Structure 1
Amino acid sequence: MNKSYALSQLNKMVRDAIDMQLPDEYWVEAELSECREHNGHCYLELIEKDEHTNTPVARASAKCWRQTWLMVKPYFERTTGEPLRTGMKVLLKVYAQFHEAFGFSWIVTDIDPNYTLGDMARKRLEIIRQLKEEGVFDLQRELHIPLFAKRIAVISAEHAAGYGDFCRQLEDNEYGFRFEVTLFPAIMQGEQVEQSIIAALERIYALNTSFDVVVIIRGGGATADLSGFDTLALAENVAQFPLPVITGIGHERDESILDMVAHTRVKTPTAAAALLIDHLRQVLERINSAQQRISTAIFQRIANQKMRLTNLQTLLPALVQRNLAEARHRIEMLEVLLKSHDPQRLLSRGYSITLLNGRAVRDPQQLKAGDVLETRVEKGTIKSTVL
């Protein structure tokens, strides 16, 4: 009969073999298929995929115990600007551990954030390249914020401190501007960010004629959890949205892809509110300037007309006198001309005028017997009848 072993004995043999054959620590590249914290420890599921088919070719569990995790986690997040999350590629320093009761696991002693940064940068560059190839990367910059942008669609977590700050900033502006703010609630942290914001954009699109601009703001969440703003689908939706999109998602690191494709990027929700207030202030200044120019032009025209009237008042008497003198002269000339054509002057010189029915007779052939003629001379009139 073959010798049998208790399971604990067999597992101990496995542990001893692993301890003997894998006594060192190793750097391993892997993708996270699961990442969760419990009681201060971090539990990871590692996966390797075929680069051509994306099919898993290896899997393993890993653990980072509390004492190590308290040091590794903040350094990783501070360096990468991201928390460990599903889908992230990581470079882990591990050693092998086999426990008789809990089985095999890799124990994490360190994580290299620079490896993950490189992979994140590669993914970001790939998304940016694809957006540019699609011709949508700069579409938002071709839009213009309307002159009187007062109807604001806001995408934010409903009870976020940043949303409250944004609304208070708009309401308490020193110019007394009144804005109409409509909130479209969305999840602004974690793995659901992309789909939640896209869903909010779709609701706004259905009512896009009701708004002048869209503001995407985030405040009060973990500053490290910004991975949801670096996705292709979200960038495509924002880049092609028909209204100008302003982002204020509250972080100091390099721009997210969402920031890059937006019409305008500011750092915080209050800065987004200040931007909208300043936009209206500039419009008001333009209106006031135009009003001033119009008033100045009107006053100048009135002044010019007054000056013309004053000049006319001064020149009018002289012009009237000159016109009267010219009129008198014309009248005198006409009188002379009239006198020169007066028939009485001809009669006084011995001429006479023979009339028939009040019209001068120029041709005796026109007369017939019985016509009564009237001949005017200087001293009187002679009547005669044609025989």
Structure 2
Amino acid sequence: MWGDLFLNLCAFVTMAYLLSATYRSWPPEQAGPMLWLRAALLSSVGVILMLFPAQLAPGVVMDLRAVPLAFAALRYGAPMGLLIALPSAAYRVYLGGQGVPVGLSSMLLVILAASILRPYVNFADPNRPLLQRWYYAAPVLMPYGLSVVFLPGGVDLLLKSYLPLLAFNALGFLIGGSILTARLQMLQLTSRFQAQALLDPLTRLANRRQFDQDLVYLTHRDAVLMIDIDHFKRVNDTFGHPTGDRVLTQVAQTVASALRPGDTAYRFGGEEFAVILRNTQPPFLHAVAERLRSAATLTLDLRPADDHSALHGTHQVAGTSSEAALPPAYPPERWPITVSIGGAHASTGPHSAVARADAAMYHAKRSGRNRSVIDAHDPHPPGPSSETRAAT
């Protein structure tokens, strides 16, 4: 019996590893093909374990098929546990013998126990210490095999088999849980590190690396905007870098909040931002740029009673180049934050669009700042009534 149960344990550990390989991303899929693939694997585990069971008496066999049922019921609930139990139950009936009622009732009792304890186990959380789940392994698996007592000579069979069977089932539960938990923790950490690698820590926008990755997927229907904060060095020199960081953060938040769900804002570098606009018609590109420019126009107040500056969310009306010039005597308590924007449609390719948008942005700065310029060489320029300025 011990050798058969050990062989069962080895087979279950192998299947647990195959099951862990179906988890490919974080958070795990809660529906779809991968869920049903896992259900199929769990269903097959019980049948495979019954191919080499521990023979207790003629027609009475024991194995580790309770463990995949416990996993399924704890993770997905009783309906999924019953669904996964069907192939094992059908195969047990096919094998026949006096132990059929014992096997079927034991499976049902395990699913029932797992369903009752499911709210306390939180089996889906990979950060919960595995030893805390070990406490629940025994109560979930204890009903398995108890009904053998109703067979002729059942008390002797129970005394002979129950503790080894419970120990191997609990060990399989712990090892299988360890494999799945390690896989989920790895996916969670990988997802977190990927997000950190592609996220600007200050503004919480996507960074230049993410921009370069997304750029290759631009189509001829998309557009690029380049945004630069006007006179940002003067802000840093006058108020200090902490205030400059708050300016960057506020501009980033206002630009990102003004975008459509499919569009993305990036911190391109320093005080420069980039925006990828999906499915944007060329005639509307300037209107979008003006809307973002207006959203990013803020007023920086330096309170006389405080040594620290603060950004206030009141927006200015779009200013002219003279308003953005910031003469030396400009009152520090009313310091405007404006941006210059250049844009280009991606009709001639993604990298060309970035270069053209960047050139248009520098043209906007040379023309007085606090304005948006759309590349004039776009193959689909807007009509004569547009405020688009030529980028030279």
Normalising by structure 2, we get a TM-score of 0.21
Q: Which has the higher strand share?
A: 1
Question: Which structure exhibits the higher relative contact order, with contacts defined as CA atoms closer than 8 Å and separated by 6 or more residues?
Answer: 2
Normalising by structure 1, we get a TM-score of 0.21
